[in-house]
Structure 1
């Protein structure tokens, strides 16, 4: 299974955060450490509705489905083959 990254741009620098792929494949949810969450965090995906163009899915506080002491959990509304990876 390939690694999927979340991206965030700050001060002109693009940073990547790797997702917990074991949790994603087992539960179909994104599990993200609370320390890694920040405004502007997004996942790139290929949209079926717009002819396959690449769009950004932003992870915001209102998209948190649940949380525990250390993690935020987000719904993963895509198929794995829709996620678009860019080598940076």
Structure 2
């Protein structure tokens, strides 16, 4: 387990490793010691399998680029969130 925080620009480094076909929208970085850092990669993929494959490709490119030396992927989880459709949202109040 890696106890050091990710570089301050870790999200920018991951975003820079994405290609248009990866459909990466944004990256969230969290680190709460004593646990390892956590990355949240958000994709605009229509299928969960496409997002999982893209996450693997982007993360692998980032690790190979040298900007995240000493880090490795220890676990991976994914969730498919339905698209937001404002015309179907319930008004509050």
TM > 0.5? no
Relative to the length of structure 2, the TM-score reads 0.29
Which protein is richer in strand relative to its size? 1
Relative to the length of structure 1, the TM-score reads 0.30
